[in-house]
Amino acid sequence: MSDRGVIAVEGFNPPIPERRFEPLPSVAGSVAGLINGLFEWFGNLGIFSWQVFKAAVTPPYEWRELIRQLDEVGSKSFPLVALAGAAIGVVISLEARYSLTRFGAKSMFPATLVYSVIQVMGPIITGLVVCGRVGAGIGAELASMKVSEQIDAIEASAINPYRLLAATRILACILMLPLLTLAADASGLLTGWFAQSLVEPLSFHQFIASGFKGATFDAFLPQTFKTAVYGLIIGLIACFQGMRTQGGAEGVGRAATNSVVLGSLFLILADVVLVKFILVVFP
Amino acid sequence: MATAYDIAMKQAEPEQDSRAPVVVVEDLRKTFGPRNVLSGINLSVNRGQTLAVLGRSGTGKSVLLRLIIGLETPDSGLIRINGQNVVGLALDRMSEIRKKMGFLFQHAALYDSLTVAGNVAFPLEHHRRGMSKSERGDRVEQLLAEVGMEGNSEKMPSDISGGMQKRVGLARALALEPEILLLDEPTAGLDPISSGEINDLILKLQHERQMASIVVTHDMHSASTIANSLALLDQGNVVIEGTFEDLQESGIGFVKEFLKKS
Protein backbone atom coordinates (compact mmCIF):
# COMPACT_ATOMS: atom_id res chain seq x y z
CA MET A 1 0.00 0.00 0.00
CA SER A 2 1.32 3.45 -0.86
CA ASP A 3 1.83 6.19 1.66
CA ARG A 4 -1.34 7.92 0.39
CA GLY A 5 -3.65 5.04 1.25
CA VAL A 6 -4.03 3.65 -2.31
CA ILE A 7 -3.29 0.06 -3.21
CA ALA A 8 -0.51 0.08 -5.77
CA VAL A 9 -0.89 -2.23 -8.74
CA GLU A 10 2.20 -3.00 -10.70
CA GLY A 11 2.18 -1.31 -14.07
CA PHE A 12 -0.90 0.72 -13.27
CA ASN A 13 -0.38 4.03 -11.53
CA PRO A 14 -3.46 6.24 -11.92
CA PRO A 15 -2.99 9.93 -11.16
CA ILE A 16 -4.01 10.66 -7.59
CA PRO A 17 -5.95 13.91 -7.28
CA GLU A 18 -4.52 16.44 -4.88
CA ARG A 19 -6.68 16.84 -1.80
CA ARG A 20 -7.96 20.35 -1.47
CA PHE A 21 -9.43 21.59 1.76
CA GLU A 22 -11.93 24.41 1.71
CA PRO A 23 -11.28 26.76 4.60
CA LEU A 24 -13.79 26.13 7.35
CA PRO A 25 -16.19 29.02 7.92
CA SER A 26 -15.47 30.79 11.18
CA VAL A 27 -17.75 30.08 14.14
CA ALA A 28 -18.79 33.74 14.22
CA GLY A 29 -19.64 33.60 10.51
CA SER A 30 -21.78 30.49 11.00
CA VAL A 31 -23.62 31.98 13.96
CA ALA A 32 -24.21 35.23 12.03
CA GLY A 33 -25.54 33.23 9.06
CA LEU A 34 -27.85 31.25 11.35
CA ILE A 35 -29.20 34.38 13.02
CA ASN A 36 -29.64 36.06 9.66
CA GLY A 37 -31.55 33.04 8.33
CA LEU A 38 -33.73 32.99 11.44
CA PHE A 39 -34.65 36.67 11.06
CA GLU A 40 -35.32 36.16 7.37
CA TRP A 41 -37.61 33.20 8.12
CA PHE A 42 -39.59 35.11 10.74
CA GLY A 43 -39.73 38.18 8.47
CA ASN A 44 -41.13 36.12 5.60
CA LEU A 45 -43.58 34.43 7.98
CA GLY A 46 -44.74 37.88 9.13
CA ILE A 47 -45.28 39.07 5.54
CA PHE A 48 -47.10 35.83 4.71
CA SER A 49 -49.33 36.16 7.81
CA TRP A 50 -50.25 39.73 6.85
CA GLN A 51 -51.13 38.66 3.29
CA VAL A 52 -53.32 35.85 4.62
CA PHE A 53 -55.00 38.12 7.18
CA LYS A 54 -55.77 40.77 4.54
CA ALA A 55 -57.15 38.12 2.20
CA ALA A 56 -59.22 36.48 4.96
CA VAL A 57 -61.03 39.64 6.06
CA THR A 58 -61.87 41.00 2.60
CA PRO A 59 -64.49 39.59 0.24
CA PRO A 60 -65.09 37.45 -1.73
CA TYR A 61 -65.14 34.74 0.94
CA GLU A 62 -64.36 31.19 -0.08
CA TRP A 63 -67.15 29.43 1.86
CA ARG A 64 -67.19 26.28 -0.24
CA GLU A 65 -63.45 25.73 0.16
CA LEU A 66 -63.74 26.48 3.90
CA ILE A 67 -66.42 23.80 4.32
CA ARG A 68 -64.27 21.33 2.38
CA GLN A 69 -61.34 22.10 4.66
CA LEU A 70 -63.48 21.81 7.82
CA ASP A 71 -64.31 18.30 6.68
CA GLU A 72 -60.67 17.60 5.79
CA VAL A 73 -59.29 18.85 9.11
CA GLY A 74 -62.22 17.95 11.38
CA SER A 75 -64.15 14.87 10.30
CA LYS A 76 -61.15 13.08 8.83
CA SER A 77 -58.97 13.70 11.92
CA PHE A 78 -61.71 12.59 14.31
CA PRO A 79 -60.95 8.82 14.39
CA LEU A 80 -57.23 9.40 14.93
CA VAL A 81 -57.77 12.01 17.64
CA ALA A 82 -60.37 9.84 19.39
CA LEU A 83 -58.01 6.87 19.32
CA ALA A 84 -55.10 8.93 20.69
CA GLY A 85 -57.38 10.31 23.42
CA ALA A 86 -58.53 6.78 24.28
CA ALA A 87 -54.95 5.55 24.64
CA ILE A 88 -54.02 8.50 26.83
CA GLY A 89 -57.09 7.85 29.03
CA VAL A 90 -56.00 4.27 29.66
CA VAL A 91 -52.36 5.26 30.35
CA ILE A 92 -53.34 8.01 32.82
CA SER A 93 -55.83 5.68 34.48
CA LEU A 94 -53.17 2.98 35.03
CA GLU A 95 -50.51 5.43 36.22
CA ALA A 96 -52.86 7.44 38.43
CA ARG A 97 -54.35 4.41 40.17
CA TYR A 98 -50.90 3.07 41.00
CA SER A 99 -49.60 6.42 42.34
CA LEU A 100 -52.78 7.37 44.22
CA THR A 101 -53.01 3.95 45.86
CA ARG A 102 -49.39 4.30 47.04
CA PHE A 103 -50.20 7.60 48.73
CA GLY A 104 -53.58 6.47 50.05
CA ALA A 105 -55.52 8.90 47.93
CA LYS A 106 -57.52 6.44 45.81
CA SER A 107 -60.69 8.51 46.24
CA MET A 108 -59.01 11.29 44.23
CA PHE A 109 -58.84 9.05 41.16
CA PRO A 110 -61.82 10.49 39.20
CA ALA A 111 -60.72 14.11 39.74
CA THR A 112 -57.12 13.26 38.88
CA LEU A 113 -58.18 11.59 35.63
CA VAL A 114 -60.57 14.41 34.67
CA TYR A 115 -58.06 17.18 35.35
CA SER A 116 -55.15 15.32 33.73
CA VAL A 117 -57.05 14.56 30.55
CA ILE A 118 -58.93 17.85 30.10
CA GLN A 119 -56.34 20.32 31.36
CA VAL A 120 -53.09 18.77 30.24
CA MET A 121 -53.02 15.76 27.97
CA GLY A 122 -56.16 16.18 25.82
CA PRO A 123 -55.19 19.56 24.30
CA ILE A 124 -51.54 18.80 23.68
CA ILE A 125 -52.12 15.29 22.32
CA THR A 126 -54.84 16.62 19.99
CA GLY A 127 -52.51 19.38 18.83
CA LEU A 128 -49.65 17.01 18.11
CA VAL A 129 -51.82 14.41 16.38
CA VAL A 130 -53.48 17.05 14.17
CA CYS A 131 -50.09 18.62 13.49
CA GLY A 132 -48.81 15.26 12.27
CA ARG A 133 -51.82 14.45 10.10
CA VAL A 134 -53.08 17.82 8.91
CA GLY A 135 -49.82 19.79 9.02
CA ALA A 136 -47.98 17.26 6.87
CA GLY A 137 -50.99 16.98 4.55
CA ILE A 138 -51.32 20.73 4.02
CA GLY A 139 -47.57 21.21 3.67
CA ALA A 140 -47.23 18.45 1.07
CA GLU A 141 -50.40 19.39 -0.83
CA LEU A 142 -49.52 23.06 -1.19
CA ALA A 143 -45.87 22.30 -1.93
CA SER A 144 -46.90 19.91 -4.67
CA MET A 145 -49.24 22.57 -6.10
CA LYS A 146 -46.43 25.11 -5.92
CA VAL A 147 -43.83 23.03 -7.77
CA SER A 148 -46.33 22.03 -10.48
CA GLU A 149 -47.26 25.72 -10.99
CA GLN A 150 -50.86 25.12 -9.88
CA ILE A 151 -50.61 27.99 -7.37
CA ASP A 152 -49.30 30.24 -10.15
CA ALA A 153 -52.23 29.09 -12.29
CA ILE A 154 -54.66 30.09 -9.52
CA GLU A 155 -53.01 33.51 -9.30
CA ALA A 156 -52.98 33.87 -13.09
CA SER A 157 -56.74 33.14 -13.04
CA ALA A 158 -57.14 36.32 -10.95
CA ILE A 159 -57.83 34.35 -7.76
CA ASN A 160 -55.98 35.27 -4.58
CA PRO A 161 -54.18 32.07 -3.48
CA TYR A 162 -53.76 33.41 0.07
CA ARG A 163 -57.55 33.63 0.31
CA LEU A 164 -58.41 30.38 -1.44
CA LEU A 165 -55.65 28.11 -0.16
CA ALA A 166 -54.15 29.55 3.02
CA ALA A 167 -56.95 31.45 4.78
CA THR A 168 -59.43 28.58 4.42
CA ARG A 169 -57.01 25.97 5.74
CA ILE A 170 -55.83 28.08 8.66
CA LEU A 171 -59.39 29.00 9.63
CA ALA A 172 -60.45 25.35 9.43
CA CYS A 173 -57.59 24.41 11.79
CA ILE A 174 -58.55 27.20 14.22
CA LEU A 175 -62.21 26.18 14.28
CA MET A 176 -61.68 22.42 14.41
CA LEU A 177 -58.94 22.07 17.03
CA PRO A 178 -61.20 22.88 20.06
CA LEU A 179 -63.88 20.49 18.78
CA LEU A 180 -61.34 17.72 18.22
CA THR A 181 -59.94 18.39 21.69
CA LEU A 182 -63.40 17.84 23.16
CA ALA A 183 -63.58 14.56 21.27
CA ALA A 184 -60.16 13.48 22.59
CA ASP A 185 -61.16 14.49 26.14
CA ALA A 186 -64.43 12.54 25.96
CA SER A 187 -62.69 9.52 24.54
CA GLY A 188 -59.93 9.69 27.18
CA LEU A 189 -62.38 9.98 30.08
CA LEU A 190 -64.44 7.09 28.75
CA THR A 191 -61.50 4.71 28.38
CA GLY A 192 -59.94 5.94 31.64
CA TRP A 193 -63.13 5.14 33.50
CA PHE A 194 -63.44 1.80 31.66
CA ALA A 195 -59.87 0.78 32.57
CA GLN A 196 -60.54 1.68 36.20
CA SER A 197 -63.88 -0.09 36.35
CA LEU A 198 -62.28 -3.33 35.12
CA VAL A 199 -60.18 -3.35 38.31
CA GLU A 200 -62.63 -1.74 40.68
CA PRO A 201 -66.29 -1.39 39.66
CA LEU A 202 -67.34 2.26 39.51
CA SER A 203 -70.46 3.55 37.76
CA PHE A 204 -69.89 6.13 35.01
CA HIS A 205 -72.36 8.48 36.68
CA GLN A 206 -70.41 8.25 39.95
CA PHE A 207 -67.12 8.73 38.16
CA ILE A 208 -68.32 11.91 36.38
CA ALA A 209 -70.02 13.33 39.46
CA SER A 210 -66.92 12.79 41.57
CA GLY A 211 -64.48 13.96 38.86
CA PHE A 212 -66.25 17.22 38.13
CA LYS A 213 -67.23 17.95 41.75
CA GLY A 214 -66.63 21.63 42.50
CA ALA A 215 -65.25 22.24 39.00
CA THR A 216 -66.03 25.50 37.22
CA PHE A 217 -66.03 26.33 33.53
CA ASP A 218 -62.91 28.45 34.11
CA ALA A 219 -61.02 25.28 34.94
CA PHE A 220 -61.71 23.61 31.60
CA LEU A 221 -62.86 26.05 28.91
CA PRO A 222 -59.64 28.08 28.53
CA GLN A 223 -57.63 24.83 28.33
CA THR A 224 -59.91 23.56 25.58
CA PHE A 225 -60.17 26.78 23.60
CA LYS A 226 -56.45 27.49 23.76
CA THR A 227 -56.17 24.80 21.09
CA ALA A 228 -57.54 27.35 18.62
CA VAL A 229 -54.07 28.91 18.93
CA TYR A 230 -52.56 25.49 18.20
CA GLY A 231 -54.77 25.41 15.10
CA LEU A 232 -53.45 28.80 14.04
CA ILE A 233 -49.86 27.62 14.47
CA ILE A 234 -50.41 24.31 12.64
CA GLY A 235 -52.27 25.90 9.72
CA LEU A 236 -50.03 28.94 9.38
CA ILE A 237 -46.74 27.06 9.43
CA ALA A 238 -47.96 24.31 7.09
CA CYS A 239 -49.35 26.83 4.57
CA PHE A 240 -46.21 28.95 4.82
CA GLN A 241 -43.89 26.01 4.31
CA GLY A 242 -46.01 24.64 1.45
CA MET A 243 -46.48 27.88 -0.47
CA ARG A 244 -42.80 28.89 -0.38
CA THR A 245 -41.47 25.51 -1.51
CA GLN A 246 -38.83 25.33 -4.18
CA GLY A 247 -37.28 22.43 -6.00
CA GLY A 248 -39.33 19.41 -7.11
CA ALA A 249 -40.06 16.27 -5.13
CA GLU A 250 -37.29 16.99 -2.63
CA GLY A 251 -38.88 20.37 -1.88
CA VAL A 252 -42.28 18.73 -1.34
CA GLY A 253 -40.78 16.25 1.13
CA ARG A 254 -38.92 19.02 2.93
CA ALA A 255 -42.09 21.13 3.17
CA ALA A 256 -44.06 18.23 4.69
CA THR A 257 -41.32 17.43 7.19
CA ASN A 258 -40.78 21.06 8.17
CA SER A 259 -44.52 21.59 8.58
CA VAL A 260 -44.67 18.81 11.18
CA VAL A 261 -41.36 19.51 12.92
CA LEU A 262 -41.74 23.28 13.17
CA GLY A 263 -45.48 23.02 13.85
CA SER A 264 -44.91 20.63 16.79
CA LEU A 265 -42.05 22.71 18.14
CA PHE A 266 -43.96 26.00 18.05
CA LEU A 267 -47.05 24.27 19.43
CA ILE A 268 -45.16 23.08 22.52
CA LEU A 269 -43.50 26.49 22.96
CA ALA A 270 -46.89 28.19 22.63
CA ASP A 271 -48.29 25.82 25.25
CA VAL A 272 -45.76 27.12 27.80
CA VAL A 273 -46.91 30.69 27.17
CA LEU A 274 -50.60 29.80 27.06
CA VAL A 275 -50.53 27.82 30.32
CA LYS A 276 -48.91 30.74 32.10
CA PHE A 277 -51.37 33.18 30.50
CA ILE A 278 -54.36 31.06 31.56
CA LEU A 279 -53.03 30.75 35.11
CA VAL A 280 -52.71 34.54 35.30
CA VAL A 281 -56.06 35.39 33.69
CA PHE A 282 -58.09 32.54 35.25
CA PRO A 283 -56.38 32.06 38.65
CA MET B 1 -74.77 45.23 -8.66
CA ALA B 2 -71.39 46.94 -8.95
CA THR B 3 -69.56 47.45 -5.67
CA ALA B 4 -67.72 50.67 -4.76
CA TYR B 5 -64.48 48.83 -5.49
CA ASP B 6 -65.68 47.90 -9.01
CA ILE B 7 -66.68 51.51 -9.68
CA ALA B 8 -63.32 52.79 -8.43
CA MET B 9 -61.50 50.25 -10.61
CA LYS B 10 -63.57 51.28 -13.62
CA GLN B 11 -62.78 54.94 -13.04
CA ALA B 12 -59.09 54.14 -12.59
CA GLU B 13 -58.97 52.53 -16.03
CA PRO B 14 -57.54 54.84 -18.65
CA GLU B 15 -59.53 55.62 -21.80
CA GLN B 16 -58.87 52.90 -24.34
CA ASP B 17 -57.92 53.76 -27.89
CA SER B 18 -58.71 50.78 -30.12
CA ARG B 19 -55.49 51.39 -32.11
CA ALA B 20 -53.28 51.75 -29.01
CA PRO B 21 -51.13 48.78 -28.06
CA VAL B 22 -52.80 46.50 -25.53
CA VAL B 23 -49.52 45.33 -23.97
CA VAL B 24 -46.49 47.59 -23.76
CA VAL B 25 -43.22 46.61 -22.12
CA GLU B 26 -40.71 49.42 -21.57
CA ASP B 27 -37.08 48.98 -20.52
CA LEU B 28 -37.91 45.87 -18.49
CA ARG B 29 -35.08 44.52 -16.37
CA LYS B 30 -34.94 41.42 -14.20
CA THR B 31 -32.14 39.65 -12.41
CA PHE B 32 -32.14 36.49 -10.32
CA GLY B 33 -29.25 36.77 -7.90
CA PRO B 34 -26.13 37.43 -9.95
CA ARG B 35 -27.84 36.32 -13.20
CA ASN B 36 -29.07 39.07 -15.49
CA VAL B 37 -32.13 37.61 -17.21
CA LEU B 38 -33.70 40.63 -18.94
CA SER B 39 -31.64 43.76 -19.51
CA GLY B 40 -34.00 46.39 -20.82
CA ILE B 41 -36.66 44.78 -23.01
CA ASN B 42 -39.03 46.94 -25.11
CA LEU B 43 -42.01 45.32 -26.81
CA SER B 44 -45.61 46.14 -27.70
CA VAL B 45 -48.57 44.11 -28.92
CA ASN B 46 -51.75 45.42 -30.51
CA ARG B 47 -55.23 43.95 -30.49
CA GLY B 48 -55.45 41.11 -33.00
CA GLN B 49 -51.67 40.80 -33.17
CA THR B 50 -49.66 37.72 -32.20
CA LEU B 51 -46.08 38.28 -31.15
CA ALA B 52 -43.79 35.27 -30.90
CA VAL B 53 -40.88 35.63 -28.51
CA LEU B 54 -38.04 33.34 -29.56
CA GLY B 55 -34.69 32.55 -28.11
CA ARG B 56 -32.47 29.88 -26.66
CA SER B 57 -33.45 28.09 -23.45
CA GLY B 58 -32.78 30.20 -20.36
CA THR B 59 -32.88 33.57 -22.11
CA GLY B 60 -35.79 34.80 -20.04
CA LYS B 61 -38.69 34.19 -22.43
CA SER B 62 -40.92 32.56 -19.82
CA VAL B 63 -39.82 35.14 -17.23
CA LEU B 64 -41.08 37.86 -19.58
CA LEU B 65 -44.56 36.27 -19.61
CA ARG B 66 -44.53 35.82 -15.83
CA LEU B 67 -43.59 39.49 -15.44
CA ILE B 68 -46.43 40.59 -17.72
CA ILE B 69 -49.04 38.65 -15.74
CA GLY B 70 -47.50 39.72 -12.43
CA LEU B 71 -46.21 36.37 -11.16
CA GLU B 72 -42.75 37.97 -10.92
CA THR B 73 -41.81 41.56 -10.13
CA PRO B 74 -39.34 43.37 -12.38
CA ASP B 75 -36.28 45.15 -10.99
CA SER B 76 -37.17 48.18 -13.11
CA GLY B 77 -39.19 49.15 -16.18
CA LEU B 78 -42.87 49.47 -17.01
CA ILE B 79 -45.55 47.03 -18.12
CA ARG B 80 -48.68 48.73 -19.42
CA ILE B 81 -51.88 46.76 -19.93
CA ASN B 82 -54.43 48.86 -21.81
CA GLY B 83 -52.39 51.92 -20.85
CA GLN B 84 -52.23 51.16 -17.12
CA ASN B 85 -48.86 50.42 -15.53
CA VAL B 86 -49.26 47.17 -13.58
CA VAL B 87 -45.80 47.03 -11.97
CA GLY B 88 -46.11 47.06 -8.19
CA LEU B 89 -49.92 46.78 -8.13
CA ALA B 90 -51.42 45.20 -4.99
CA LEU B 91 -52.59 41.60 -5.42
CA ASP B 92 -56.33 42.41 -5.51
CA ARG B 93 -55.88 45.23 -8.03
CA MET B 94 -53.65 43.03 -10.14
CA SER B 95 -56.38 40.38 -10.05
CA GLU B 96 -58.74 42.83 -11.79
CA ILE B 97 -56.17 43.22 -14.60
CA ARG B 98 -55.60 39.46 -14.75
CA LYS B 99 -59.28 38.88 -15.50
CA LYS B 100 -58.53 40.31 -18.94
CA MET B 101 -55.63 37.90 -19.46
CA GLY B 102 -55.43 34.20 -20.21
CA PHE B 103 -52.26 32.24 -19.49
CA LEU B 104 -51.30 28.84 -20.85
CA PHE B 105 -48.47 27.37 -18.78
CA GLN B 106 -45.69 25.36 -20.36
CA HIS B 107 -46.81 22.16 -18.60
CA ALA B 108 -50.49 23.24 -18.60
CA ALA B 109 -50.53 23.41 -14.75
CA LEU B 110 -53.96 21.79 -14.53
CA TYR B 111 -55.40 21.34 -11.03
CA ASP B 112 -54.77 17.65 -10.46
CA SER B 113 -57.60 17.24 -7.94
CA LEU B 114 -60.22 18.51 -10.41
CA THR B 115 -61.63 16.91 -13.56
CA VAL B 116 -61.11 18.43 -17.00
CA ALA B 117 -64.49 20.18 -16.67
CA GLY B 118 -63.63 21.30 -13.13
CA ASN B 119 -60.44 22.90 -14.40
CA VAL B 120 -62.24 24.87 -17.09
CA ALA B 121 -65.07 25.79 -14.74
CA PHE B 122 -62.66 27.00 -12.03
CA PRO B 123 -62.25 30.64 -13.19
CA LEU B 124 -65.99 30.83 -13.96
CA GLU B 125 -66.92 29.64 -10.45
CA HIS B 126 -64.84 32.44 -8.96
CA HIS B 127 -65.51 35.31 -11.34
CA ARG B 128 -68.97 34.59 -12.78
CA ARG B 129 -70.74 33.99 -9.50
CA GLY B 130 -74.07 35.02 -10.98
CA MET B 131 -73.87 32.21 -13.54
CA SER B 132 -76.16 29.26 -12.81
CA LYS B 133 -74.72 25.76 -12.61
CA SER B 134 -76.32 24.72 -15.89
CA GLU B 135 -75.13 27.88 -17.65
CA ARG B 136 -71.64 27.22 -16.36
CA GLY B 137 -71.83 23.60 -17.51
CA ASP B 138 -72.90 24.72 -20.99
CA ARG B 139 -70.08 27.26 -21.15
CA VAL B 140 -67.54 24.62 -20.11
CA GLU B 141 -68.81 22.21 -22.77
CA GLN B 142 -68.64 25.01 -25.35
CA LEU B 143 -65.05 25.86 -24.39
CA LEU B 144 -64.02 22.21 -24.45
CA ALA B 145 -65.63 21.80 -27.88
CA GLU B 146 -63.74 24.88 -29.07
CA VAL B 147 -60.41 23.23 -28.23
CA GLY B 148 -61.49 19.81 -29.51
CA MET B 149 -61.88 18.19 -26.09
CA GLU B 150 -65.60 17.43 -26.09
CA GLY B 151 -66.47 14.14 -24.41
CA ASN B 152 -63.50 14.31 -22.03
CA SER B 153 -65.01 16.51 -19.36
CA GLU B 154 -65.10 13.86 -16.62
CA LYS B 155 -61.52 12.66 -17.10
CA MET B 156 -58.79 13.59 -14.64
CA PRO B 157 -55.73 15.51 -15.89
CA SER B 158 -53.53 12.47 -15.13
CA ASP B 159 -55.63 10.38 -17.53
CA ILE B 160 -55.05 12.54 -20.61
CA SER B 161 -52.01 13.12 -22.84
CA GLY B 162 -49.72 16.17 -22.75
CA GLY B 163 -51.30 17.59 -25.90
CA MET B 164 -54.80 17.17 -24.43
CA GLN B 165 -53.64 18.82 -21.19
CA LYS B 166 -52.48 21.82 -23.21
CA ARG B 167 -55.86 22.00 -24.93
CA VAL B 168 -57.61 21.94 -21.54
CA GLY B 169 -55.18 24.60 -20.29
CA LEU B 170 -56.07 26.70 -23.30
CA ALA B 171 -59.80 26.25 -22.66
CA ARG B 172 -59.22 27.37 -19.04
CA ALA B 173 -57.23 30.38 -20.25
CA LEU B 174 -60.11 31.35 -22.54
CA ALA B 175 -62.85 30.89 -19.93
CA LEU B 176 -63.06 34.55 -18.92
CA GLU B 177 -62.91 35.73 -22.56
CA PRO B 178 -59.54 37.47 -22.21
CA GLU B 179 -58.34 40.39 -24.32
CA ILE B 180 -54.76 39.19 -23.92
CA LEU B 181 -53.53 35.63 -24.32
CA LEU B 182 -50.10 34.59 -23.05
CA LEU B 183 -48.85 31.20 -24.23
CA ASP B 184 -45.72 29.66 -22.74
CA GLU B 185 -44.25 27.06 -25.09
CA PRO B 186 -47.63 25.80 -26.38
CA THR B 187 -46.04 23.09 -28.54
CA ALA B 188 -43.10 22.06 -26.34
CA GLY B 189 -42.88 18.33 -25.77
CA LEU B 190 -45.55 17.51 -28.34
CA ASP B 191 -45.25 15.33 -31.43
CA PRO B 192 -45.41 17.11 -34.82
CA ILE B 193 -49.07 16.21 -35.40
CA SER B 194 -50.18 17.45 -31.96
CA SER B 195 -48.02 20.58 -32.42
CA GLY B 196 -49.72 21.26 -35.75
CA GLU B 197 -53.14 20.81 -34.16
CA ILE B 198 -52.29 23.24 -31.34
CA ASN B 199 -50.96 25.77 -33.89
CA ASP B 200 -54.16 25.46 -35.96
CA LEU B 201 -56.22 25.87 -32.81
CA ILE B 202 -54.35 29.04 -31.79
CA LEU B 203 -54.75 30.46 -35.31
CA LYS B 204 -58.47 29.69 -35.28
CA LEU B 205 -58.93 31.33 -31.85
CA GLN B 206 -56.97 34.39 -32.95
CA HIS B 207 -59.11 34.71 -36.05
CA GLU B 208 -62.34 34.39 -34.07
CA ARG B 209 -61.47 36.45 -30.98
CA GLN B 210 -58.94 39.04 -32.16
CA MET B 211 -56.95 38.92 -28.90
CA ALA B 212 -53.50 40.40 -28.36
CA SER B 213 -51.26 37.36 -27.94
CA ILE B 214 -47.71 36.75 -26.88
CA VAL B 215 -46.35 33.29 -27.59
CA VAL B 216 -43.08 32.19 -26.05
CA THR B 217 -41.47 29.39 -28.02
CA HIS B 218 -38.24 28.06 -29.44
CA ASP B 219 -40.14 26.26 -32.17
CA MET B 220 -39.49 28.42 -35.25
CA HIS B 221 -42.05 26.53 -37.35
CA SER B 222 -44.75 27.17 -34.77
CA ALA B 223 -43.75 30.83 -34.44
CA SER B 224 -43.80 31.46 -38.19
CA THR B 225 -47.20 29.75 -38.45
CA ILE B 226 -49.08 31.55 -35.68
CA ALA B 227 -47.37 34.92 -35.22
CA ASN B 228 -47.64 38.19 -37.15
CA SER B 229 -44.36 39.38 -35.70
CA LEU B 230 -41.40 37.77 -33.99
CA ALA B 231 -38.88 38.99 -31.43
CA LEU B 232 -35.62 37.14 -30.91
CA LEU B 233 -34.05 37.36 -27.45
CA ASP B 234 -30.43 36.78 -26.60
CA GLN B 235 -28.64 37.52 -23.32
CA GLY B 236 -31.58 39.52 -21.99
CA ASN B 237 -31.98 41.77 -25.03
CA VAL B 238 -34.20 41.82 -28.10
CA VAL B 239 -31.79 41.13 -30.95
CA ILE B 240 -34.37 41.70 -33.68
CA GLU B 241 -38.12 42.28 -33.93
CA GLY B 242 -40.08 42.01 -37.16
CA THR B 243 -41.84 39.61 -39.49
CA PHE B 244 -40.49 36.17 -40.33
CA GLU B 245 -39.21 37.64 -43.62
CA ASP B 246 -37.37 40.38 -41.68
CA LEU B 247 -35.61 37.72 -39.66
CA GLN B 248 -34.72 35.74 -42.80
CA GLU B 249 -33.24 38.84 -44.43
CA SER B 250 -31.32 39.91 -41.33
CA GLY B 251 -27.55 40.02 -41.51
CA ILE B 252 -27.09 39.62 -37.74
CA GLY B 253 -24.94 36.57 -37.03
CA PHE B 254 -27.02 35.28 -34.09
CA VAL B 255 -30.27 35.56 -36.10
CA LYS B 256 -28.76 33.67 -39.03
CA GLU B 257 -27.44 30.96 -36.72
CA PHE B 258 -30.76 30.65 -34.86
CA LEU B 259 -32.74 30.33 -38.11
CA LYS B 260 -30.23 27.87 -39.55
CA LYS B 261 -30.40 25.57 -36.53
CA SER B 262 -34.18 25.81 -36.05
CA atoms within 13 Å, Cβ hemisphere of B178: 33
> Which residue does chain B place closest to A60, by CA atoms?
B126
pTM of the entire predicted model: 0.84
Mean pLDDT computed over A231-256: 94
Among A150, A152, A159, the residue with its CB nearest the CB of B71 is A152
Calculate what percentage of chain B has a pLDDT beyond 70: 93
- Chain A residues closer than 8 Å to B92 by CB: 58, 160
Residue B154 lies inside a defined structural domain of this protein: no
Residue A6 near chain B (CB below 8 Å): no
Average pLDDT on A97-119 reads: 87
Q: ipTM surpassing 0.95, yes or no?
A: no
pLDDT value of position A266: 96
B-chain residues within 8 Å CB-CB of A155? 70-71, 98
Task: Give backbone dihedrals phi and psi of A78, rounded to 5 degrees, phi first.
Answer: -55, -50
Selected residues 77-96 of chain B with any CB under 8 Å from a CB in chain A: 91-92, 95-96
Backbone phi, then psi, for B240, in 5-degree steps?
-155, 145
More confident call, A15 vs A283: A283
Q: Which residues lie below 8 Å from residue A85, measured CB to CB, with a gap of 6+? A: A117, A122, A125, A126, A183, A184, A185, A186, A187, A188, A191
Residue A6 has pLDDT above 80, yes or no: no
In a domain, B46, yes or no: yes
Q: Look at B92 and A157 and tell me if their CB atoms are within 8 Å.
A: no
Is a pLDDT exceeding 80 seen at residue A84?
Answer: yes
Segments forming the whole domain that contains residue B94: 30-100+178-261
Q: What is the pLDDT of residues B95-153, one digit of tens each?
A: 899 999 999 999 999 999 999 999 999 999 999 988 899 999 999 999 999 888 888 99
Cβ proximity of B128 and B66 under 8 Å: no
Higher pLDDT, B206 or A151: A151
- For a pLDDT cut of 90, what percent of chain B falls above it? 50
Does residue A158 belong to the interface with chain B, where contact is any CB pair within 8 Å? yes
Query: Helical H runs in chain B?
Result: 4-12, 61-68, 91-98, 116-127, 133-146, 162-174, 192-209, 220-226, 244-249, 253-261
The H-or-E segment that residue B177 falls in is: none
Q: Please answer yes or no on whether A160 and B69 come within 8 Å at the CB atom.
A: no
Q: Measured between CB atoms, does A150 come within 8 Å of chain B? A: yes
Average the pLDDT over B43-55 and give the result. 91
Q: Within the 154-213 window of chain B, which residues sit less than 8 Å (CB to CB) from chain A? A: 172, 176
Nearest CA in chain A to B104: A153
pLDDT tens digits for B194-249?
Answer: 788 888 888 888 888 888 999 998 888 888 888 989 999 988 889 898 888 888 88
Give the C-alpha separation, B136 to B156, whole Å: 19
Domain at B219, CATH number: 3.40.50.300
Instruction: Tell me the backbone φ, ψ of residue B230, rounded to 5 degrees.
Output: -130, 145
Is the pLDDT assigned to residue A41 strictly greater than 60? Answer: yes
Instruction: Provide the terminal-to-terminal Cα distance of chain B, rounded to the nearest Å.
Output: 53
Task: Choose from A69, A144, A146, A149 for mutation: most chain B CBs within 10 A.
Answer: A149
Q: Is residue B114 part of a domain?
A: no
A159 touches chain B (CB under 8 A): yes
Question: Between A51, A150, A159, which is nearest B109 by CB?
Answer: A150
Handedness of CA A216, A218, A221, A224 (dihedral sign): negative
Return d(Cα A169, Cα A268) in angstroms, integer.
21
Which residues in chain B have their CB less than 8 angstroms from residue A162's CB? 91
Mean pLDDT for chain A?
89
Span B16-29, average pLDDT: 81
Query: Is residue B109 assigned to a domain?
Result: no
Residue of A147, A157, A169 best to disrupt the B interface, most CBs of B under 10 A: A157
Cα A153 from Cα A60, distance rounded (Å): 19
Which residues of B are less than 8 Å from A60 in CB distance? 126, 129
Please check the confidence at residue A93 and state whether its pLDDT lies above 60: yes
Q: B95 vs A150: CB contact, 8 Å cut-off?
A: no
**Does B234 reside within a domain?**
yes
Band (B251; pLDDT cuts 50, 70, 90): confident
Distance to chain B for A151, nearest Cα, Å: 9
In angstroms, the separation between the Cα of residue B99 and the nearest Cα of chain A is 6
CA distance A80 to chain B (A): 24
In a domain, B203, yes or no: yes
Q: What is the mean pLDDT of residues A251-263?
A: 94
State how far residue B246 is from chain A, nearest Cα, in angstroms: 33
Q: How many domains is chain B built from?
A: 1
3-state secondary structure (DSSP) of residue B26: strand
List chain B residues with CB under 8 Å of A51: 91
**Is A162 in CB contact (< 8 Å) with chain B?**
yes
Contact list, B127 vs chain A (CB under 8 Å): 158
Residue A1 in this model has a pLDDT that exceeds 50: no
Q: Is residue B133 part of a domain?
A: no
Task: Specify if B186 maps to a domain.
Answer: yes
Residue B74's pLDDT is 94
